[in-house]
Amino acid sequence: MTMSAQTAAETAGNVAPERKGFELEDTGFKEVPKKYRRFYRKWQGEDDMLAENEVLCPVCRIVVRSAREVLPGDRVYCMPCMTRLMVTDVDGRLIGRPLQ
């Protein structure tokens, strides 16, 4: 009988909650090389609902997507405008804040 990954993590004292994983499909976002397209999509404007794995880049107004759930305090990279972003929660939405 093998120990589950979760049990192993608890044994190691790691209390970080498990993050949800997301399947990313090609969004047809042409501004970056094909292999990175699934990590970005165009923002549809104020009515656009951001998923738990999506962060809006305020610099170029592109949605950065992660294969994992994103939480405030995380850092993501916006390739289209080459900006490093700190994820912040703004009224329940995940918005990036450019880092120097």
Q: Which stretch binds Zn ion (CB under 5 A): 8-16, 21-29, 34-42, 50-58?
A: 50-58
60: contact with Zn ion by CB under 5 A: yes
* Contact code string over 65-84 relative to Zn ion, x by CB under 5 A: -------------x--x---
Query: For residues 11 and 87, which CB has a smaller minimum distance to Zn ion in the complex?
Result: 87
* Cα–Cα distance for residue pair 92/4, rounded to 1 Å: 33
> In the complex, what is the shortest distance from the CB of residue 63 to Zn ion, in angstroms, rounded to a whole number?
9
The encoded tokens of residue 67 equal: 């294969």
Query: For residues 62 and 94, which CB has a smaller minimum distance to Zn ion in the complex?
Result: 62
* Cα–Cα distance for residue pair 77/62, rounded to 1 Å: 11
Alpha carbons within 13 A on the beta-carbon side of 67: 6
At 45 the three-state DSSP class reads coil
86: contact with Zn ion by CB under 5 A: no
Query: How many Cβ atoms are within 10 Å of 28's Cβ, its own excluded?
Result: 9
Q: Which residues bind Zn ion (CB under 5 A)?
A: 57, 59-60, 62, 78, 81
